[in-house]
Structure 1
Amino acid sequence: MAMTDLTPVKPQESELLVVTGMSGAGRSTAANALEDHGWYVVENLPPQMLSTLAELVARTPQALPKLAVVVDVRGKAFFADIRDSLNMLAASGISYRVLFLDADDDTLVRRFEQGRRPHPLQGDGRMLDGIAAERELLAQLRDAADVVIDTSKRNVHELASQVTELFSDSGPVVLRLTVMSFGFKYGLPVDANYVADVRFIPNPHWVPQLRPHTGLDKDVSDFVLVDNNANEFVGRYVRALEPVLEGYRRENKHYATIAVGCTGGKHRSVAVAVELAKRLAQLPRVAVSTRHRDLGRE
């Protein structure tokens, strides 16, 4: 007679994702992408109702296993209470994550002008006044977010793809890393958790036959990585990140962006980012993707 497994079955836990960020940064696009992949999305929920809704979902996780709540600043007085609402969730033992969408001022202004809409906080002032007020209001929430996505250089399809990549998988949550190459001459990535400077590596730009190619090409990659300092750097950097990544897991942080920069973001940073991603992907419970922010720019 077969023995009965009496091991208690762990109840299914619901996932709660709070989607917020700057007006015009892509909250609607993110919400649509989440909805396409099985999330139940509630938009424009007053923050005071957040803990009540979360408690209802926690009691019956099978009914709404994946709930995303989109919160914005159209009700400024309501939004001021969101930190208290999130603190109440934590005190109640309800697990949640915060996705914050951001973009630079020029991009936000352009998007509002294209849509012929005023900023919700500009009142009788300029659009930039409204953007500045919103940044101040959201500063603490942005600092505490689990994931920050800068949408300045992303179109709606690229943003939807990244949201899908981050939040569509089911099963045990692993640590998801994005290794991003970039060029210092175009500015630091605002959504990077760590930044590595690889401008110490000999530059293929000064080799005529390599200049037209990129770090994705084998001849450039070989030129960059054959340098002993480059290989030693990548190996040591991975080892230095291992306790950091383990700490992220302990703190229930599931997403991080590691940026690798050279002068223009075409040769050295691209080759090193690809190699770094390969080595990080060999670590247990880590999923790695690459992004080359400035590749193709002149």
Structure 2
Amino acid sequence: MTTSNIKNIRVLSFGFKYGPPPFAHIVEDVRWVKNPFYEPSLHAMTGADAPVQEFILAQDDVVGFLSDMRTNLRRRLRGFSHSNYHETLIIAFGCTGGKHRSRFFAIKCAEMLAELTLELGIEAEVVVEHRDRE
């Protein structure tokens, strides 16, 4: 295992209408993705539901964004793990209300981080939190 200062990674979803989380190290604004909120069949669902995930993945540039995100996460994990940085790394994804898009990307990010920490030999717990549920 790699010696790393990072022991915990928190991945948050939030709604910008409630303000960004004040202590996040990385904040991604995903409001550029078409909002499932306005699709009647998806409105009541969240970004954790398969139909919402399929809707988001079908949009232009989302798959490319996820690929770029994985590359950037790998780079940042290596950098943060070898510095005298915080033991807890906080990554946040924001959309309008925090229910669909931000939740989808937070879940995908956590999945990537679980794989990358194993790949890089970093012993860190990855936790997903959904701050806003509207």
The alignment's TM-score, normalised by the length of structure 2, stands at 0.84
Aligned: 1:293 with 2:131:
yes
Q: 2:92 aligns with which of 256, 259, 271?
A: 259
What one-letter code is carried by the residue in structure 1 that aligns with 2:112?
Answer: R
- Mark the structure with the bigger radius of gyration: 1
Aligned: 1:223 with 2:61:
no
Structure 1 partner of 2:24: 192
CA deviation after TM superposition for structure 1 residue 238, in Å: 2.2
Cα contact 1:261–1:269 (8 A) shared by 2: yes
Cα contact 1:280–1:288 (8 A) shared by 2: yes
Q: CA RMSD in A?
A: 1.7
Structure 1 partner of 2:14: 182
* 3-state SS of paired residue (1:260): strand
CA gap of 1:173–1:245, structure 2 versus 1, over 3 A, is: closer
CA deviation after TM superposition for structure 1 residue 277, in Å: 1.0
Gaps of at least 5 residues in structure 2 are none
* 3-state SS of paired residue (1:282): helix
Cα contact 1:204–1:223 (8 A) shared by 2: yes
Q: 2:69 aligns with which of 219, 237, 244?
A: 237
Structure 2 partner of 1:276: 109
Distance in 2 between the 1:174 and 1:289 partners?
Answer: 17
Instruction: List per-residue Cα deviations over 1:130-154 (Å, max 9, x = no partner).
Output: xxxxxxxxxxxxxxxxxxxxxxxxx
Report the number of matched residues.
Answer: 125
What one-letter code is carried by the residue in structure 2 that aligns with 1:272?
Answer: F
Cα contact 1:174–1:287 (8 A) shared by 2: no
Cα contact 2:5–2:83 (8 A) shared by 1: no
Q: Matches of residues 106-125 of structure 1 in structure 2 within 5 Å?
A: none
What one-letter code is carried by the residue in structure 1 that aligns with 2:27?
Answer: V
Q: Matches of residues 23-172 of structure 1 in structure 2 within 5 Å?
A: none
Distance in 1 between the 2:10 and 2:70 partners?
Answer: 14
Instruction: List per-residue Cα deviations over 1:7-37 (Å, max 9, x = no partner).
Output: xxxxxxxxxxxxxxxxxxxxxxxxxxxxxxx
Instruction: List per-residue Cα deviations over 1:98-155 (Å, max 9, x = no partner).
Output: xxxxxxxxxxxxxxxxxxxxxxxxxxxxxxxxxxxxxxxxxxxxxxxxxxxxxxxxxx
Q: Percent identity?
A: 39
What one-letter code is carried by the residue in structure 2 that aligns with 1:287?
Answer: E
* 3-state SS of paired residue (2:31): coil
What one-letter code is carried by the residue in structure 2 that aligns with 1:241?
Answer: L
Distance in 1 between the 2:39 and 2:105 partners?
Answer: 18
Structure 2 partner of 1:250: 82
